[in-house]
Chain A
């Protein structure tokens, strides 16, 4: 079945710097790649997603890139702010099911 690896497991950045989280997937049939932000004690919140027919998508400070050949996709957050601190999960959708990465704890230091 699908396997999603996510790196790094923790990431500390200074406020205003950029943060990049990377994921790889194994099943070439995966066709949808969402990113979720989860705050402590809450459910995941969809922050951006990309479909397999698109290479890049941007929404204000957040962007996602997809390399189908290499089976890589990445989340880019620019001008980080303390409120960006949370756990971020990537996921890949195959046969309409989401398989999640292990998560990245992002800490933005002010």
Chain B
């Protein structure tokens, strides 16, 4: 149980284009999903928290107009990187919290974004 999927697993896009990443909880309902960013050989940094049916809460320093987050259902959240630039290249990981458990976060496999 507690499986989280992400799609795509990797994507290459040209500078100036937008990319959408999907995060799904496969076998549980997630009232809260989180988006993280991880640079090579570094730790995970929380970008934003999204609750189903409401606006995402962004961490300090994260541009909400650049990283659009939508949490349309209890099993799906999307992150759209708008007008991507090479410095946005990173490993993006989502996590989801089971509505039945207030503590555990289950992570997806991550999406490697490369902006050329």
Q: Measuring CB to CB, which residues of chain A are less than 8 angstroms from any residue of chain B?
A: 32, 34, 36, 41-46, 49, 51, 89, 93, 96-103
Contact = CB atoms under 8 A, between A and B. Distances in A.
Interface string B80-108: 00000000000001000100001111111
B44 A100 contact: yes
B49 interface: yes
Interface residues of B, number: 22
A12 B58 CA distance: 37
Contact of B32 (A32, A93, A96, A102): A96
A43 B49 contact: no
B110 A103 contact: no
Contacts of A45: 107
B109 A43 contact: yes
B54 interface: no
A36 B95 CA distance: 12
Interface in B1-52: 4, 6, 32, 34, 42-46, 49
B43 A100 contact: yes
Interface string B46-77: 10010000000000000000000000000000
23 contacts: A34-B105, A41-B110, A42-B109, A43-B4, A43-B93, A43-B108, A43-B109, A43-B110, A46-B104, A46-B105, A51-B103, A89-B44, A96-B49, A97-B34, A97-B46, A97-B49, A98-B34, A98-B44, A98-B46, A99-B46, A100-B44, A100-B45, A103-B42
B48 to A, nearest CB: 10
Given A43-B110, A51-B103, A101 B46 contact: no
Q: Closest 6 CB pairs between A and B?
A: A43-B107, A43-B110, A100-B43, A43-B109, A32-B103, A44-B107
